[in-house]
Structure 1
Amino acid sequence: MGKLGIEANPNGTHIGRSMGLALATLLALATPAAARTMTSDDALDALPDPEGYQLVISNDGLQPDAVQNLSAMLVDTIGEDHFFGAIYAFLPENSQQLSIHLRTGLHTLDAAERSALSDCEAERSPEDSECRLLGQVLPDEDIEGAPELSHEAMYAFVQSAPQMDGPIVVARSQNTTAWSMWSGEDTRQSALDECNEAVEAGGFEPDCDIIIDDAP
C-alpha cells in the first residue's frame, strides 16, 4: 500500500498518499470532467462521514443467497480502504464460479469503475463471458456537493484540517489513489507536484487537480 504521513516543510505542512494504482495495464481512460473546487470550510460542511460506507450489490441474475455470500466476502475484503469502489466480474468458460475484480480507495465512482473494469478485462479471455458491474462501494451518505475524495483522503482532511495553519490545498488524482494536502501560503503548486509525483511513481501520466483550495 502507499505511505500516509505528515511532516513539517519550510513552505507549509503536507499530508499525502505516495502511490498510484498497482495496475500493469489500463484501458484507455476517458478524460474526467474537471472537479469543482471549494474552500476547506465548505468542504467540512459538505462531507459525509468518512468512516462509513455502503456496499451496493446488483442482484440482476444472482440468487439471493449468492448476493448474501458475495456481500459478506466483499465486506471482509474491503476492510478499512473503502469508497469509492467498484466490483466487476466475468464467468470463465466451463466454470460456475465468477472471477471477481474489486477496486477501492479511488476519489470518484467513475475512476473506481474504470479501474475495476480494466482489471477484469485484462484477465478475461475471448471465450469467457463479458465483464459486468456487480457492485459499488459508496459513502454511507449521499450529500450533494460533497468534495470528490477517497475515504483515506477525506478522513485525513477531517482529522488534520482543524490543526493546520494557513490556507489549505488538497490535490487528488483523477484516475489513481494518489492525493496530497498542504497548508500555508503559496502551496498550491506544491500540492499538485507531490500528487503528480505519486501518480508518476506508479507508472501513470500525471492527472492531479485541485479539489480544496483556500488560497485567494
Structure 2
Amino acid sequence: MFSAFGDLGALRAPLALGYAGLLAASIMPLPAAAQDAPATAVITSDEAKAALPDAERYRLEIENDGLNAQQRQDLGTMLIDTIGDAHFFGAIYAFLPEGSRQLSIHLRRQLHSMEAAEKSALADCDAERSEGDSECYRIGRIVPENWSDDDGSLLSHEATFAFSQNVDALEGPKIVARSRNTTAWAMWSGEDVRQRALDECNEAVEAGGFEPDCEIVIDDGA
C-alpha cells in the first residue's frame, strides 16, 4: 500500500494525467440507498479533545490491487493535489471503462465517518458505470495521519479543526451536531442549545435538498 502524509497547505504537486476520466471531487451527500450508517456514541467536549485526531495532518492510502508501484505513486501525486485542504474522511473508488486502459476515478472527502465516505464514493462510481465496464472497487482512502480502523470516526477535518480551535474559548456546555451522511455540522455552547445545534445542522442538510439526518456527537450536558 502506498501512503502519503499531508500537512494542511504543504502538499502540492502537478496533476498527473495518467488517469483520465472523471475525478469527482464533490462532497455532496450520499444517495438515499446508502444512508444506513449506525448512530454514534455521544461524548463530552473534554473526551473529544482527547480523542479527536490532529486536524492539520492526514494520510492518503493507495491500495495495491490492480496497480503497480509507479501507478500508485502517480495516482497518489494526483490525489494529493486534488485533496488540498479538505481531506478526512475520504474514499476513492474506480472502475475501468470497457475498452479503456484508463480508470474512471471517484473521490468523496470531508465526510464525518469512513463509512459515509466509502458508501458515497461507491455510489458515485456505480452511478457512472455502463454495461461492459468493470465493477467499482476501492483504490484508496483519506484518513487522519495516525488513525486506525479501531479508532472509529467522529468529525470531518473541517469540523475537527473548528472544534479544536474554538472549544476552549467557548463558555458553558459545548454541543456539536453532525450529519450522518453529508458534510454538514454545527457547534453551539451555552445552556439549552442542544436543539439549536441540531436545527442548524439539519437546515444545512435541507438546504442541499436532502432529508435531515443530524445527530449530537458531543454534548457536555448529556
**TM bucket, shorter chain:** 0.7 to 0.9
Kept after mapping to 2: 8 A contact 1:48/1:146: no
Is this contact kept in 2: 1:46–1:146, CA < 8 A? no
Identity level (%)? 59
| Cα distance in structure 2, aligned partners of 1:30 and 1:212 | 21
5+ unaligned residues in a row in structure 1: which ranges?
A: 1-19
Deviations 1:131-190 (A, max 9, x none): 100001001122765651000000000001011111100000000000000011100000
1:99 alignment partner AA: S
- In the alignment, the residues of structure 2 paired with residue 145 and residue 115 of structure 1 have an alpha-carbon distance, to the nearest angstrom, of 21
Larger relative contact order, structure 1 or 2 (CA cutoff 8 Å, min sep 6): 1
For 2:147 and 2:73, the matched residues in 1 are separated by 23
Superposed CA deviations along residues 17-49 of structure 1, whole A, max 9, x for unmatched, are: xxx9536x8260242211011100111011211
CA–CA separation in structure 2 for the residues paired with 1:99 and 1:121 = 11
Across the two proteins, how many residue pairs are aligned to each other? 196
Contact 1:93-1:129 within 8 A present in 2 as well: yes
Structure 1 counterpart of 2:127, from 122, 125, 144: 122
Q: Distance in 2 between matches of 1:145 and 1:124?
A: 33
| Partner residue, 1:63 | 68
RMSD: 1.7
Alpha-carbon offset, residue 69 of structure 1? 0.1
Q: What is the one-letter code of the residue matched to 1:47?
A: L
Structure 2 unaligned blocks of 5 or more: 1-25
1:32 corresponds in structure 2 to 37
Change (3 A) 1:54 1:203: same
CA contact (8 A) 1:168 1:182 kept: yes
TM-score (norm 2): 0.84
The TM-score, its normalising length taken from structure 1, stands at 0.86
SS in 2 for 1:69: helix
Q: Distance in 1 between matches of 2:153 and 2:133?
A: 38
Q: Per the alignment, do residues 130 and 172 of structure 1 end up closer, same or farther by CA in structure 2, a change over 3 Å counting?
A: same
Q: Which residue of 2 aligns with 1:10?
A: none
